[in-house]
Structure 1
Amino acid sequence: MQNNEAFTIPAWVPEGAQRYLAHTETGQSIRDIARSAGCHASTILRQIRRIETRRDDPLVDAALQSLAQAHFAGTPAAADSIFHVTQEETAAAKDEEFNREALRILRRLCETGAVLAVAEEMDKAVVVRDLGDGGTARTAVVDCRIAQALALKDWISCDNPGRISRYRISSSGRSALSQLIADDENKARARNEFGMSEAQTPFQSQFVQGNSVTAKSQRSRRIRYYAAESPLIALARRRDRDGKPFLDETLVAAGERLREDFELAQIGPQVAQNWDHFLTAGGRGSFGPESHGGQGASDARKRVEHALSDLGPGLSDVALRCCCYLEGLELAEKRMGWSARSGKIVLRIALQRLKRHYESQSERNRMIG
C-alpha cells in the first residue's frame, strides 16, 4: 500500500475527488480515509460513489486521469498541466491562473444561449452563443484542461455527452461566479485606490487591517452592473427612440472579434499581457514583444494592437475596457472622468469605427499583389 501523504493534490480539487483518488490510486481503505478526515466511513463511501458515477462525463474522466498521472503515477508526462504544481510555479500561482480563466469562461456561459462545446481529442474547447436567428457566434476559446477542472468542480454540466459534448453552467457554477466576481472586483479596487500592481495585492490586506474605515467602506460597496455578461450584450438589448436595438449584431460582432483576439493574445508563456499603454491615462508608448518575457499569440496581439491604434485615444480606452476587460459602463465612465450616461454613446462610436477597421482589413486581404 502506498502512503497517501507522499502525494500532494492541488487545493482547488474538490474534497470528494481528492478522497476518490486517495482510495483508487493509493489503495487507502475507506475507513482509513474517514479516520484521517474525522468523519464517518459512510460519508467517504458516498463521495467516492458519486465521483465514480460522474466518470461517464468525458471531461470529469479526463480530469481524474490527469490528476492521477500528475500526482500519483510519478511520471513527468503531465508536468505542463494545470493539475501539476512544479517548484517554479507555486500552488497559489496555479490557483490564480485557474480562477482567472474560470471567471472568463463562466461569464460567457451566463450569456443567453451560450454553451461550451468540447470535441473528442481536441486541445481546445469553445464557447458559442445562439444569436436567435439560426446563427451562432464564438465568444471564447478555452484550454481543455481548464474545462476539465470546471467539470470536476461541477461548475458546468453536460446532459448528453457525445463526440461533441455541450456543457452549460450549473447552479453551483453561478454561485462560484458570484464569488469570483467579488474577488476580482476587490483586486481591481485595490489596484485603483492603492496604486498597487496585481502581484502586490496580498499586501493590501495588511493595510486594510490597520484601517478599519477603509475595510468598512470596501465591504459596503457593491457591483452596480450585471458583471456576469459582456456590457455589449446588455447594451444590445436596449432600444433607441425608434425602437431599434442600441447596438446591432454587426457592432456586437466587431466587439466580440476584438475580445476574441484579446483572449487569444493572452495564451502563451506570459498569460497576462500589458495593454495599459492604450489607455489615455497610462501614456501611449510603443508596444512590442521585446517588452515582455513571453511572445504569446503574436498574430492575435498584433491584430489587437492595430485595431486599438486605429481607434485612437478615447475610443480605444472604452473599447479596451468594455470589450476586453468587460468593465461596466459606469465603472469605465468613472475611471475616465466622463459624465454619466456618456459612455454608451462613445462605445457605440468606437464599435462603428472598429467595424469599419475590420471591413477595411477584409478588403485589403482580398486584394491581389
Structure 2
Amino acid sequence: MTETSAFAAPAWVPEGALNYLAHTEAGRSIRDLARGAGCHASTILRQIRRVEMRRDDPLVDAALQSLAQTHFPPLALPDQNVTEADTTPDNATFDREAMRVLRRMCETGAVLAVAEDMDKAVVVRDDRAGGSTRTAVVDCTIAQALALKDWINCDKPARISRYHITAAGRTALGRLLAEAENRARRQKETGFAEAQTPFGGAPSVASDQSDDVRHCARRMRYSSTESPLAALARRKDRDGQPFLDEELVRAGERLREDFELAQMGPQVAQNWDRFLTGGGRGSFRPDMQSTGGHTGARDRVARALSDLGPGLSDVALRCCCYLEGLELAEKRMGWSARSGKIVLRIALQRLKRHYDDQSESDRMIG
C-alpha cells in the first residue's frame, strides 16, 4: 500500500493529518507519500510541518493521539494483539454533530469551552447581564475533530480553553446546511418525505399521523443559525425593555438542551408529537420502551411538556426544540398573527417556574 487512504480513517480526517500520522506513526517516507498522492515531496513536507505546529492546541493534539492509537497502531510483538477502542466519530455522526455545534457557535458571543480531562465540552453564549448561558453540550471527540479540521480555533490554550468558530467553520456550516437541504429535497422528490429532525436520532413521524403533523415536521427550520428565542429576545416591548429577559431565554434553552441530549441517544421510537395540539391530537401513538441512552434527558423533557399542558407545550416544543418560526407555528395552530409571541412568553414563564420548582424539590433538607 502506498496511499494514506489504505489506513481505515474516516473521510472527514484532513489529508494533511493523514500524511502526518503516516509519516510519524507508520514510518512512511515523505517521498513515498508524495508518490502515492501524486504531488511533489515539498507539498507533503509543508503539510507535515503545518500539522506539527498545531499540536500546541490541546484539542488538535488529542485528536492526533486518538487517530494514532486507533488507525495508525505501532507494530506489535508476535505474542501481542492489543487494539485500542475506536472512539473516532464516523462521517455521518461528524456531519450531524458539526452542523449542530457550528450553528450554536455562529450565535453572537458564543464560544466552546473545553476543560482539561473532561469528556464533554460546552457551548456558552454571553448575555446582556454579564453572565453566560449554556446552549449545547459537545462530546470531546467531536470538539477534537472540529479543531483538527480548523473549523474552531483557540488563541490562548489554558486549563479551560475557549474556542471560536473560524471563517473555514462558517463556510463548512453553509456547505453542510446546503447538503442537508439537498438531501431533504431529493427524498421529497423520490417519495420519501418523512419527517426529519435536525439531530438525526429520532425516527420519522408515523405514517398514520395526520397530514398536518407530518407537514409541520417537514417544515422545521434546519438552516437557521440561532433559535427563535434569540431573535425574539432582541425585540423590545412598549416600554423599551427586552420582550424576553435572560431567565426566560435560559429556560427555553434548557428545554432545547435536554431535547438535543435525548435525541443523541440510541435509536428509539420517542414520539414527541403527542404534545402537539395543532393537528396532532387524536393521532397519539404510545412510545415504545427505550433501553439505556439518555433516558434522563427524555424524562426531563416529558415532565416539562406535561407540566406546561396543551397549547403551551405545543408552542414550546415547536419554537424551542423544533426551531420552528413563530409565523409558521401560528399558522399550524390556527392562531391570529402576532399572537404566538405572547403565548410563547407565557409558556416560557411557566417553564421557568417548572425548573424553579424542580430546583426547590431537589434541595436536601437539613
- Compared CA separation, residues 18 and 343, structure 1 to 2 (3 A): farther
Match of 1:77? 84
- Compared CA separation, residues 286 and 358, structure 1 to 2 (3 A): farther
> 1-side partners of 2:177 and 2:324: how far apart?
11
Structure 1: which amino acid aligns with 2:351? L
Moved more, 69-78 or 144-153: 69-78
Q: Which ranges in structure 2 are unaligned for 5 or more consecutive residues?
A: 75-81, 198-219
**1:54 Cα offset (Å):** 0.6
* Equivalent position SS for 2:124: strand
Deviations 1:165-184 (A, max 9, x none): 11111111111112222333
Match of 2:21? 21
- Contact kept in structure 2, 1:151 and 1:157, CA below 8 Å: yes
- Contact kept in structure 2, 1:262 and 1:304, CA below 8 Å: yes
Q: Where does 1:119-134 land on structure 2 (aligned, <5 Å)?
A: 119-134=115-130
1:359 is the counterpart of 2:356: yes
Match of 2:142? 146
Match of 2:163? 167
> 2-side partners of 1:103 and 1:230: how far apart?
14
Structure 1: which amino acid aligns with 2:289? S
> 1-side partners of 2:137 and 2:58: how far apart?
18
Query: Which of residues 295, 313, 323 is equivalent to 1:326?
Result: 323
> 2-side partners of 1:151 and 1:272: how far apart?
33
Match of 2:203? none
- Contact kept in structure 2, 1:4 and 1:28, CA below 8 Å: no
**1:50 Cα offset (Å):** 0.7
Q: Which ranges in structure 1 are unaligned for 5 or more consecutive residues?
A: 84-93, 200-222
- Compared CA separation, residues 7 and 358, structure 1 to 2 (3 A): same
Match of 2:300? 303
- Compared CA separation, residues 78 and 333, structure 1 to 2 (3 A): farther
- Contact kept in structure 2, 1:125 and 1:144, CA below 8 Å: yes
Match of 1:263? 260
Structure 2: which amino acid aligns with 1:227? S
- Compared CA separation, residues 346 and 76, structure 1 to 2 (3 A): farther
> 2-side partners of 1:185 and 1:97: how far apart?
17
- Compared CA separation, residues 32 and 76, structure 1 to 2 (3 A): same
> 1-side partners of 2:84 and 2:7: how far apart?
16
* Equivalent position SS for 1:16: helix
Structure 1: which amino acid aligns with 2:65? Q
Match of 2:249? 252
TM-score (norm 2): 0.80
- Contact kept in structure 2, 1:12 and 1:95, CA below 8 Å: yes
Question: Which structure: greater helix fraction?
Answer: 1
* Equivalent position SS for 2:8: coil
- Compared CA separation, residues 333 and 47, structure 1 to 2 (3 A): farther
Deviations 1:24-66 (A, max 9, x none): 2222222222222222222221111111111110100110111
Structure 2: which amino acid aligns with 1:254? A
**1:16 Cα offset (Å):** 1.3
Match of 1:9? 9
**1:274 Cα offset (Å):** 4.4
**1:299 Cα offset (Å):** 2.0
Structure 1: which amino acid aligns with 2:45? L
- Contact kept in structure 1, 2:66 and 2:88, CA below 8 Å: no
- Contact kept in structure 2, 1:236 and 1:245, CA below 8 Å: yes
* Equivalent position SS for 1:118: strand
Structure 2: which amino acid aligns with 1:296? G
* Equivalent position SS for 1:291: coil
> 2-side partners of 1:46 and 1:368: how far apart?
63
- Contact kept in structure 1, 2:177 and 2:222, CA below 8 Å: no
> 1-side partners of 2:357 and 2:5: how far apart?
60
TM-score (norm 1): 0.80
Structure 1: which amino acid aligns with 2:8? T
> 2-side partners of 1:272 and 1:68: how far apart?
37
User: Please, what is the CA RMSD of the aligned residues?
Assistant: 3.1
Query: Which of residues 87, 91, 96 is equivalent to 1:95?
Result: 91
Match of 1:44? 44
State the identity as a percent: 71
**1:305 Cα offset (Å):** 0.2
> 2-side partners of 1:168 and 1:271: how far apart?
33
Match of 2:172? 176
Moved more, 237-246 or 339-348: 339-348
> 2-side partners of 1:269 and 1:327: how far apart?
24
- Compared CA separation, residues 363 and 44, structure 1 to 2 (3 A): same
Query: Which of residues 233, 236, 241 is equivalent to 1:236?
Result: 233
Moved more, 315-324 or 105-114: 315-324
